[in-house]
Amino acid sequence: MKPLIGISCCVKLFGIVGMPNHAASDTYIRATDQVVGGVPVLIPANGEKADIQTLLARLDGIMLTGSRSNVQPALYDGPPHAEGTPEDPKRDGVTLPLIRAAIAAGVPLLAICRGMQELNVALGGTLHQRLQDLPDRIDHSTPMQPNARVRTGKAHNVRITAGGWLHRIAGTLDLPVNSLHNQGMDRLAPGLVAEAVAPDGTVEAVRGMFPGFVVGVQWHPEYDWETDPVSRRIFEEFGAVVSARMNADRSAAAD
């Protein structure tokens, strides 16, 4: 039996009347199907209606997705967003308590882009809202290109922490990554350590110092796991941890 992987959704407006839908990109579904080896289960962005304990009782792992929307600044005592900045309070209302509960329960957690920012905020960290507006920072935002290869291609390298989780699976201290974000880490939350930083000092990957698997990357490995071996290994490692925990739980239940 395959593990169930919860994938966080956003509230997005579809159709000619702008009907709210709960959605996650197909890239996360495909990575879960084809690399993680799990069954993707979409977690709706239903805010306070989310039953966190029921989700955790049934899910074997959680993948927090990227999004165009930004985490609400009030959740980390930041200044209001600039007018027009997309937010998704219903998603925030699910993911932040889900993160804290998942870590407490030891449910493996892989956080990607916005997901890594949620992870930091959920544990008490803060965010920069627009890295490109800060002195001595590079522009990490999505290139406005219709060509997907340009839009999601490698944008800069990251310097990997020697001896860390990412160093072990990447086998290098210098890794090229894509870059599609405006927000970025400011103060790192207690319990998180940096696994990689960009040339401008922006934290690009983190690991949780907790008993279970808690990893975040600021880039998007779901875009290029078919061609990039490190992107593929990130999902393979997550899948191996999830399967091992699921099998251990079932063995314990059978005893």
Catalytic (active-site) positions: 113, 220, 222
The number of CA neighbours under 13 Å toward the Cβ of 104 is 12
Take residue 58 and report the two structure tokens written for it: 């049934």
Query: Which of 138, 142, 112, 126 lies closest to 215 in space, CA to CA?
Result: 112
Cα–Cα distance between 107 and 213 in angstroms, integer? 7
Q: Is 148 exposed, middle or buried (0-12, 13-18, 19+ CB in 10 A)?
A: exposed
Cα–Cα distance between 31 and 206 in angstroms, integer? 20
Q: Give, in order, the Cα–Cα distances in Å from 51 to each of 83, 102, 118, 248.
A: 32, 13, 18, 25
Cα–Cα distance between 160 and 103 in angstroms, integer? 24
Cα–Cα distance between 97 and 106 in angstroms, integer? 14
Q: Give, in order, the Cα–Cα distances in Å from 116 to each of 171, 185, 220, 251, 252.
A: 22, 9, 11, 32, 32
Angle separating helix axes 89-105 and 114-122, nearest 10 degrees? 70
Take residue 176 and report the two structure tokens written for it: 């090229």
